[in-house]
């Protein structure tokens, strides 16, 4: 499993991560980021891409 952490103090809700891993990241009705905290190992490439495109570098992914 992969653990996903988003520093919500850094996150500005640009939503770039949503395009890379929509199964994990979503913008809610108020355009605020929501995400799931764990994902299967098969999603590693998408999650790394999401972390890379984050303009605020607010996403941390670790393997559990």
The 10 Å CB-count burial string (b at 16+, else e) for 41-62 is eebeebbeebbebbeeebbebe
- Res. 5: pLDDT tops 90: yes
The CATH number of the domain where 59 resides is what?
3.30.70.20
Domain of 49, in residue numbers: 2-63
pLDDT at 64: 75
Write out pLDDT tens, residues 19-36: 999 999 999 999 999 999
Number of domains within the chain: 1
d(CA 30, CA 3): 25
């Amino acid at each position: 499993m992969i653990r996903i952490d988003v520093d919500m103090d850094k996150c500005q809700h640009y939503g770039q991560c949503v395009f890379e891993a929509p199964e994990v990241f979503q913008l809610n009705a108020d355009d605020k980021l929501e995400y799931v905290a764990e994902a299967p190992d098969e999603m590693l490439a998408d999650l790394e891409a999401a972390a890379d495109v984050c303009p605020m570098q607010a996403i941390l992914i670790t393997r559990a």
